[in-house]
Amino acid sequence: MDGTETRQRRAEELGLRYALSTGRLPRVSEDGPLSVPESQRVSPKPLGTELSRETALSIGLQVIVPFIFAGLGLSGAGILLNYFQHWPVFMEVKDLLTLVPPLVGLKGNLEMTLASRLSTAANTGQIDDPREQHRVISSNLALIQVQATVVGFLAAMAALLLGALSRGELDFEKVELLCASSVITAFLAAFALGMLMVSIVIGARKLGVNPDNIATPIAASLGDLITLSILAFFSSFFYKYKDSRYLTPLVCISLMALTPVWVLIAKKNPPIMKILKFGWFPIILAMMISSFGGLILNKTISKEQYKGMAIFTPIICGVGGNLVAIQTSRISTYLHMWSTPGVLPLWMKKFWPNPCSTFCTSEINSMSARVLLFLVIPGHLIFLYVIYLVEGHSVPNSKTFVVCYLLAGLMQVTILLYLAEVMTRLTWHQALDPDNHCIPYLTGLGDLLGTGLLALCFLISWLLSEAELDGTLELASGPP
């Protein structure tokens, strides 16, 4: 099918999209093949035209403010993590540090995926009708509560398993505390951020701003702060009352018992129910990938040569996940508007495109990738400046570290943006929704890449400073 045929099917796709969102097929009318009942008809806006009118400047102006706001939130999260790591519960229960990346990463697995789904729904006119809006929003919120509860429990199990493998023993006394802390953190953070995402997408739609550009950065800005604060507060609370035998099991059982309620609400929307049945693999695999990043953090955070690791981890992981989520959401919306699941547009037929075509063409997705890539260095410089102002004594201040850190951030985002282009094409070709299947993988990879590259930056900086110090000592101790 060529691009012309794809565009000619646009009216039929809108009718089909109505069927997907309501679970009912549009009825056949006398005038044409597909029509929607007048009482339920939604007037979609001409969004294909809106997207085609976007320029690099307009994309940049829409993205930059929430991106900087998100980065400041991530900087605050890094400062908080640096503070929390010295709390008794974090020093006693080391596996809590392994939990940080997967729990914080839930905003990529759940909230950013939610924001991307709602943005696509908004951009295709699905939530313009008030009754349809209520049904779509309630079912999506119920979905992420189920996912958060289950993934929170599995994240605790993964942290315990990785900790046991690295230490050679399993501490059964900490199992209940870790599970209760993880589940309640995931549950409350998902609820708070889910409500925030709904408000942002609806508000952006009313203001005429593309929610793809702003929803995910704002999720990132507050997601880490909210998640870390909830984790620290409840883990300390459970640690304080660790002698109360029934407290932590009661919390876990109560939250698990709510799962059938959320499932009943999600059943109102058949596509959401399909995600609930078959959409577990991406978020669980993404959680496992993030857990390996958490293991790296756990093993490095207390060592002298990695001083400051806690501060920079949320920033580098968050910036990478933030930017790739924006790009994935945009490509997904583009495919929903110009093609049908299983059929790639003619100009996107290659599954593994040339990297130059991803970043260096005039096509709209390539242009947005360039804009997002150009934000990396200036953004990180701003966040570095904020960190040095607030916590300058706790982080490396060498030029070597700054250069290595900026290169690591650029490398991370470049890899992720290219993978976003590849993965959205592959999932769309398989008739899968990129909103649900790509963002979890990419944010999980962003956590692992970011943590690994950051640890390498600290190691290189430390080795070079040691070599420089040894050379200075040799000169000082040499013959006069």
5 beta partners? none
Q: Which residue has the tokens 């990478």?
A: 320
pLDDT for 276 beyond 50: yes
Q: What is the pLDDT of residues 327-341, one digit of tens each?
A: 888 888 888 887 787
CA distances 91 to 86, 237, 298, Å, are: 6, 15, 11
Q: Where are the alpha helices (DSSP H) in 241-269?
A: 247-257, 259-266
Q: Which residues contact 98 (CB under 8 A, 6 or more apart)?
A: 158, 159, 162, 163, 291, 294, 295, 297, 298
CA–CA separation, 475 and 326 (whole Å):
52
pLDDT for 38 beyond 80: no
pLDDT of residue 108: 58
pLDDT of residue 333: 83
pLDDT of residue 237: 93
What 129-137 contacts at long range (C-beta under 8 Å, 24+ apart), as own/partner pairs, is: 129/40, 129/42, 132/21, 132/22, 132/40, 132/42, 133/202, 135/268, 135/269, 136/21, 136/269, 137/198
pLDDT for 376 beyond 60: yes
Contact 347, 396 (CB under 8 A): no
Mean pLDDT, the chain, integer: 80
pLDDT of residue 365: 84
CA–CA separation, 299 and 276 (whole Å):
35
pLDDT of residue 205: 80
pLDDT for 264 beyond 90: yes
Provide the total of helices (H) and of strands (E) in the chain, helices listed first.
Answer: 21, 0
Structure pTM? 0.75
Please, how many CA atoms are within 13 Å of residue 361, restricted to the half-sphere of its CB? 12
Burial of 129 per CB tally in 10 Å (0-12, 13-18, 19+): middle
CA–CA separation, 95 and 182 (whole Å):
11
Q: What is the pLDDT of residues 81-91, one digit of tens each?
A: 888 888 998 88
pLDDT for 43 beyond 60: no
Q: Which of 202-211, 386-395, 417-426, 463-472 has the highest mean pLDDT?
A: 417-426
27 beta partners? 35
pLDDT of residue 402: 93
Q: Where are the alpha helices (DSSP H) in 129-174?
A: 130-167
Tokens (6 digits) for 380: 């990180």
CA distances 262 to 20, 256, 267, Å, are: 20, 10, 9
pLDDT for 386 beyond 80: yes
pLDDT of residue 21: 39
Band of residue 39 on the pLDDT scale cut at 50, 70, 90? very low
CA distances 447 to 100, 282, 288, Å, are: 11, 15, 11
Instruction: Please name which of 93, 90, 70, 94 lies closest in space to residue 81, comparing C-alpha atoms.
Output: 90
- Please measure the distance between the N-terminal and C-terminal CA atoms of the chain and give it in whole angstroms: 81
pLDDT of residue 3: 41
pLDDT of residue 158: 86
Q: Which residues contact 421 (CB under 8 A, 6 or more apart)?
A: 327, 331, 353, 358, 365, 369
pLDDT of residue 351: 75
The lowest-confidence range among 10-24, 68-82, 251-265 is: 10-24
Q: Which residues contact 67 (CB under 8 A, 6 or more apart)?
A: 217, 322, 323, 375, 379
CA–CA separation, 315 and 221 (whole Å):
10
Contact 313, 180 (CB under 8 A): no
Q: What is the pLDDT of residues 119-163, one digit of tens each?
A: 778 877 777 788 888 888 899 899 999 989 998 999 888 888 887
pLDDT of residue 477: 60
Q: Among residues of the chain, what percentage have pLDDT more than 70?
A: 82
Tokens (6 digits) for 333: 């919306």
Band of residue 403 on the pLDDT scale cut at 50, 70, 90? very high
Band of residue 183 on the pLDDT scale cut at 50, 70, 90? very high
Q: Which residues contact 242 (CB under 8 A, 6 or more apart)?
A: 177
Can you spell out the DSSP letters for 223-234? Answer: HHHHHHHHHHHH
Q: Which residue has the tokens 């939530």?
A: 127
